[in-house]
Amino acid sequence: MSIEIIKSRSLHSAKSFGPIVILWSEHHGEPKITRIVLSTPKHSANELLAKYYPHTIKDSCSVIDRVAERMEAFLAGGGIRFSLESVRMDLCKDFQRRVLVEEHSIPRGRVSSYHRIAQRVGNPRAARAVGTALAKNPFPIIIPCHRVVRSDGTLGGYYGGVKMKKTLLEMEGIEFNLKGKIISQFFY
């Protein structure tokens, strides 16, 4: 039996989203991300790290540094597309994994709805379950769950807060009408 040592690497976003923490460990001899912790409107990622993951070791490596640099570029508005190779998808249950893979396929500058994702993963009546799977997305930014909105074009929730979700979508070129709904031409 081996003991998994969880390590953390912090980064700061250019858009004042607050600190973000990457939790990672060695898995089969390679560094793999186990969770990304975003700051929320009430708590910084560093506070959440101290509260929920107090025994992590602050450390990094070239693979995690590259991911962190790409995340910083993405949060600064860059058109970065992330690979799923660096994340531990095996830690997710089957339904969540299917939802996250489908979510990952939504291109920059487009959105989908919880209902459409449910249809695409073969369970058209599971829109709420899709919402739950995305609310528990352990890899936000890498798997851009901010790109899923309600069927009526309103934003829905987001772990980093609705303001962050809207800002990320606007950075990707998504436009809103006067009522704050996403214009339908942006749906994928």
Number of H helices, E strands in the chain: 6, 6
Rounded Cα distance, 30 and 26, in Å: 5
- Non-local (6+) Cβ contacts of 31 within 8 A are 24, 25, 61, 63, 64, 86
* Active-site residue, 145 included: yes
Our measurement of the distance from residue 178's CA atom to the centroid of its chain's CA atoms, rounded to an integer in Å, reads: 27
Neighbours of 157 (CB within 10 A): 12
Please, what sign has the CA dihedral across residues 74, 166, 16, 38? negative
Which one is catalytic: 33, 145, 164, 169? 145
Enumerate residues 6+ apart whose C-beta is below 8 A from 56.
6, 7, 8, 23, 49
Report the catalytic residues: 145
